[in-house]
Structure 1
Amino acid sequence: MNILDSLINEQDSLERQNDKLRKIAESLMRRVEQDTDESGAAYAQFQRAAMLEETVRARTQELERALDLLNDSNAKLALANAETEAARANLANAIETVQEGFALFDADEKLVMCNSRFGKHMRDIHPLLKPGLPFEDYVTLVANSPFLALPDGESAVEWREKRMARHKDNHVVFNARMAGSRWLQVSEHRTPDGGTVVLQTDVTDMVLIERQERERLLDDQARLIRATLDHLDQGVCIFDAQSRLAGWNRRVGELLSIPYGRFLVGTHFDMVLERIRESVEFEDDHSPEVIDRWVRATTRRAPLSFELSLSNDRILAVFAQAMPDDGFVISFTDVSAERAAVRAISNAKETLELRVMERTLELEDALSEAERANASKSRFVAAASHDLLQPLSAAKLYVTSVEVEHAHSPQGERLEKASNALLSVEQILGALLDISKLDSGQAAVHVSAVPLRVLLEQLSDEMRPIAHQKGLEMRVVCTDAVVLSDATYLRRILQNLMSNAVRYTESGRVLVGARRVRGGVRVEVWDTGPGIPENQQERVFDEFHRLNASASPANGMGLGLAIVERACRTLQHPLHLSSKLGQGTCFSIELPLAPEQLGAQTTVSTNDTQPRDGLEHLIILLIENDAELRDALTLTLEGWSADVLPCASLAEAEALLKEVDISPDVIVADYQLDDDLLGLDAVIALRKQHGPLPACIITANRTSSLADECDQAGVSMMHKPLDADLLRAFLSKAQRD
C-alpha cells in the first residue's frame, strides 16, 4: 500500500490516476506470466490491484453524482435568488405606487422599507428614514421636527410619550396638524408576525371642507336664532361666560327705551346694567347689587326673577337664567296689563271681603269660645303632626342605620332605647293626626265588606306575644261573619281596645269574641284588669286621660280610646263600656252585617313584610326635596348595599340620569315636591322615558283619595314617618320582580 500510495498522486486527475493503474496492472500481469515459481504471491498482488481499481471506480462515480447535485442546487438557488429579487422589486414598485405614505417595521421595531411619500411633509427627517431605523427614534424625530404643529400647551416630550403609548394598541388612527395648515391622518396596523404598518394620508382637503360646512351651519343657525329673537314679544339679552353681551333683539330697546345702537357685542354686563338703571326702578326688594352678585356667582345659579318699573307706569317682569356654558340669558316681558288686572281684581276682592265680613260678624260672635278653641286645636295638631313627621322619618332612619352598625357594642342598648322613644313619638303623632282628622271631619272612610275572621286572626298573632310576655292568657274566638265597615279604621279600633286591655291587665286573661245580634255582630273585648270607676267611665274617652296617672309615657298617652270613640262615631258603630272595680272591663262595638255576595270578594291588607333580601346592585332613584330626609334615606339605602341616586327635584333627576346614561331599577319619591310638582307626576314622567319602573310614594297625607290615585297609577305608598322594614320589603320585592 505504501508503494501504491507513492505511485498514485491524489492531486492527479482521474484520467491520470486511471492511466497509472492500468500500467501497474499490465506490469503485474507480465510479471505473473514470467515468474511462475512465485505465482501465489503474484496472484495475491493481482487481486489487490483489481480491488483497488474497483474502489477507485466507485469513488469516481460518487464524486460525479455529488458534482451533478451541486450543480442542480446552484441552479435552483440562482433561480430562487432571481425570483426573490424580482418579488422585492415588485413589492417596492407596488408600495411606491400607493398614494399614501407607507412604512413597514419588523417585529424588532426596525424600519424594513418605506415609500417616497412616507414623511415627505417633514423635509428635515425624510432623508433619515432608512432601513434599520428604530421606531422609537422615528417618533423622536417626528416629535422634534419643526414641521409638526404641536397641540396648544403640549411639549415635544409629552407628544412623544402619548405617541408611544398609543403605539401599544393593535390599531391606531389619529390626525396630526402639520406646518402650513396641512393635516395628516396616521394609522397603524399590526402584522401577523408582530410587525407594524404605518400609513400617512393627506386629509387637508377633507378638513377644510368640514370646517367650511361647520361654519356654514353656524352661520345658518345664527341667522335663524336672530330671526327668532327679533320675532319674540319679549326682550332678550344673551351674555357669555365672561358676562359679555353676545346677542339681543330689538324688543329690548323698545321695552327699556334704550337706543338700539347702544347695544354692542362684547359690552360687559356692568355697562348694560348702568344703562338700565338710568330709566327704570327696581321692585320686589331687588337691587342692582343683588343682580350683580347673581351674575358674578361662581357656584350654580338658581333662576332669578324680579320686576322693573318704568316712568310711564309700565312694569317689566325680568327673568334671568344660567346656561350650561356658564353664560346667562335675561328676558324682559311687559306685564303692565296683567298687573293692572290684578290690582282691579284685588280691589274688587277687598270690597267683596268687606261686605262679606260685615254680613258674617253676627255669626262669628255667635260661635262659642269652646268651638273656636277646639277647631284651633284640631288644625294645630294636624299641622304640627304633619310637619313633625318629616324630621321624625329622618331621625328614625338615622337611628336605625346606626343601630345596625352598633348592634353588639355598648352603645347598642342606648340606640335601642332611642329607637323605642322615636317609635313612641311616632305612635303619639299618628294618634294626634287621626284625632285631628276625625274632629275636623276630614277623615275619609271607605265602607266595604270586611271578614272578621281574617282581621281577628291578624290581631291575635300581633297581640298574643305581648300578652304572654306579661304572663297573661289571651284568647280570640273568631267568627265567619262579614261586616260593613272601613277595614283600616275597624282594625285600628279593635287594635286599640285589645292593646288597652293588655296594657292595664296585670294578671288573668284577655278574651276577644263576637256575638250575633239582631241585624249585626257585636265584637267584645273582655279583660280581668282593675276595672274603671263609674264616675270615670265617660272621661276615659277624652284625649290624654289615663286612670293610672303614674304610668310611663311609653305605656301610652291616653289617646287610644279617644281615637276609638271618634272612629266609631264617624263610622256609626255603637260603642259600649261595661266595667266593675276589681273584676275587669268589657268594651264592645256593634257592626252591621254585609250582604253575602260581597263577603267572598273582600280581603284585608296585612303588614307582613318580605324576607330581608340583599339589595346589592339595585339602582334606586330617590327624589326628596327635604335635604335631611334625603340624606337619611340615602344613608339607610346605602347601608343595605343599594346604589342610590339622590335628587331634590324631577329636573335634577332627569339631568342626572342623562349624565350617567343609565336607567334606575326602582323610584322612591316624596309626594309633595317643590314648584308644586307631585311625586306621582315625577314617576309618570320618568316612566315615559325609562319604561314601567317599580315606584313608591312616601307621604304624610293619609287620605284615601291619594291611596286610590297611587293604586290607579300602579305605585306603592308609604306613610311618614317611614317604617324601614316596610321600605326594605318593597325594595326586595322590586328586586325579585
Structure 2
Amino acid sequence: MSWHLVDPNEPLEEQHARLLVITDALMRRVEQEMDDVGEAYAQFERAVILEDQVKQRTAELEHALSLLNQSNAQLAEASREADAARSDLSSAIEAVREGFAMFNSDDVMVMCNSRFGQQIRDVQPNLKPGLHFNEYVLLVSQSQFLELPHGMTRSGWVSRRMQRHADTHVMFNVELKDDHWLQVSEHRTPGGGTVMLQTDITDVIRIGREERDKLLDEQARMIRATLEHLAQGVAIFDRGGRLVGWNKRFVELLGLSPVYMHIGVRFDRLAADFRERFSISHEGFLDALERWRGDVIRETPLSFELVGPSRQTLHAFTRQMPDGGFVISLTDVTAEREATRALSIANETLEARVVERTLELEDALDAAERANASKSRFVAAASHDLLQPLSAAKLYLASASDGDANPLLAKAGRALESVELIIDALLDISKLDSGSAQFDFRVVALNEVLLPLRDQFSPLAAEKGLDLRVVPSDLAVRTDPSYLRRILQNLMGNALRYTKTGKVLVGVRRMRDAVRLEVWDTGIGIAEEDQELIFQEFKRLDTSVSANEGLGLGLAIVERACARLGHPLGLWSEEGKGSGFFVNLPIADDATGAAQTLLPKVSAGWRLKNRGMIVLLVEDDNELRRAITVLLGKWDVSVLDAANAEEAIGLLDEIEISPDAVLVDFQLGGGMDGVALALALFDRHGGMPTCILSANRSPELRLRCAESGLQLISKPIDAGKLERFLLGALPDAEAERQATGRAID
C-alpha cells in the first residue's frame, strides 16, 4: 500500500501550498518534541482553532441576519399590500349601494359598510365588527322602525328570522315604518361564513303598487263593461253581505227602486223585497244569504228560483268569492219554464199514446212470438209426420229393388230423396231462424267431408257431362261436422245445378291460421244486383230449373249456418263466366280425434242372410213398422215388433227370448221415450245392441244416446246404415266392422 502527501492530479500551486503546510507542521512538530513541556505550542494551537470557529460562527450569524433582514423587508411589503387590499376592500364595500355585512363561520360580524342598517337608525350604531348574529337579530326585532307582519309578535319574528338564516340562500322583504321596504338576502361563503345584503326597494314596491292599482282600476272598468253586457243580472256583496257592485240587468230583472241600489246596502234588505214580490223555491238558501259570514267556507253554490205573479221565473245562482263575499246572478228562465210546462203536457199526452201503442205492440209481439213458436212446432211436427211415411216409402223401395236396376224405382227413390232434402232444409231454416239450433264444435278432418261428397255428386256430374274435381286436403278444422257437410253439400249442389257445361272445382286454400273452402264453377254466373237476393228463401235466378231440384233454400241455409257458426262467407261471380263461393274456417291446432277412416258404402243385405238374427222393433207408426219388417224379412232377419214400450216389455217377458238387436223409435206414445225403454230393457235382459230411430237431430239427443251406449239413426232411415248396425250386432261383428267401418251415421 502506497500513499502520497499530495494528489498528483491537483494543480501545482495547490501542491506547493500543501507542501508548505506540511513542512510547517513538521517543523512545529520537531520543535514541540524538542520542548520538554510543549505546553505553549498546544495553547497556541487551541487559540488558533478557537479563532477559526469564532470566525465561522460569526459568518453564519451574519448570513442569518441577512436572511432575517430580507424576510422583514418582505413582511413589511406584504403588510403594506394587505393594508392596501383592506383599504381597497373597504372602499369597494363602502361603494356598494346596498347595505353589506359579513359574518364568519361562528356568526360573528367581520365587517360592514355604512349603508348596512341605515334604514333602522336606532340599531345602526350597534352594528360593529364582533357583533354576534343572534344579537343583531334581537336588536332589529326591538327596533321602533320595524313593521311586524299582521298577527306576529317580536319573539315570533326572531324565531322565523333565525329559521331563515339556517338556509343556504335566503331572500325576503322586510316592511319598515312609513311605508319603507328592505329586501334582505343572505349567501354562504365557501368557508362557512355569511354575506348579507340589504337593498332599499321602497321605490320598487311603491311603483308596483301604483301599477297594480292602475291594473285593478283597468280591470274594474273592464269588469264593469263586461257586467253591463251580460244577459244575466249580477250583484256582488262583500264578506259582510254588503253590496259592492251590480249591473243594470240586475235592477231590471228584479224591478228594484234605485233607492235600494247603492254601495253598502245589506243583502237582507233586498231579501225582504224578494219575499214580498216573489215565490221562492228554496227559502233556506235565501236565509243563508241573509246570515252570510265571510269566514265560513262554502264550496257548494246555492241555487234557487224566484217566481213572480205573472209567472216570471228568475233562476238565482250564488257562489262564494275568494275574499269571503259572494256573487249572485239572475237569469230570466220564464220562456224555458213555459216551454218545459208545455213540453210536460205534451209528454203526458205522448206518454199516454206511447203506453197505448206499447201495449198494442206487446200484444202484436206476443201474437208474433206465438205464431213463430206455433210455426216452429208445426214445422217440427209436420216434418216428423212426413218423415215417418217417407222412411216407410224408402224402405219399401229398398225391399222392392232387390238389387234390380228398375228405372221407375230409381226415379221414385230420387223423388223421395228430393222430398227428404226439402224437409231437412225446412227443418234447418226453422232451427236457424228460431235460434234453437245447437252446434257440436269439434276437430274435423276435411277429407271426412270432402271425399264422401265427391262420391255423392260424381254420378250427377257424370250424368250432366261436367268435370267435377274435388281436391283432397290433410288439414283439419274446428267446426260442427254436420253443418259443415250441409254447407258444402248445398254449395256443390248449386254449382252442379246451375252449370250446364265446363267444370266444378272444390278445394281448400290455407291462409295462416285459417283455411278457406272454395267452390268454383263455370256456370251462368250471378249479376251483381242479384248477389244479395240469392241468399233469400225460395229465390232462384234460373226459373227453368225443376222444383225437384230444390226450392231455393240451399243458399239461405248456407248463409244462416255460416253466420251462426262464425264462418265468414264470401262470393265472387261474373255473369256468363261462373261463380265462386268461399267459407273461412279456423284451422285446428291439433287434428287428434278427427276421423280419418271413411266408410265404404254397403248396399245390399246379403251379409245378414242365413244368420238367424232376431231383432226387436218398437215403432208406433204402423206403416213404418211394417216397411222395416218387410225389409228385414228380405235380409233373413226375424222381427219381433211392438207398437209401444209396454207391449215390447210384455212381449219379451212372454216369450223369454233376448233378441240379438233392438230398434226403438224415440218418440213413443205413453210416458216412456225410446232411450228410457232401452235402459229399462237393459235392466231386465242385460245389455243388447240397441239403436234409436228418430227424426230429432238435436245435439241433446245425440249426447244422451252416447252417454247411454246407444247408437242413433236419423229418419228417414237409410237401408245401408240400418244394415251396418245389424252387422255390428252379430256375434262375429268384429270381422264385419273391419270390413264395413265402425260408425253408422
TM-score (norm 1): 0.48
Looking at CA atoms only, which structure, 1 or 2, has the larger radius of gyration?
Answer: 2
TM-score (norm 2): 0.47
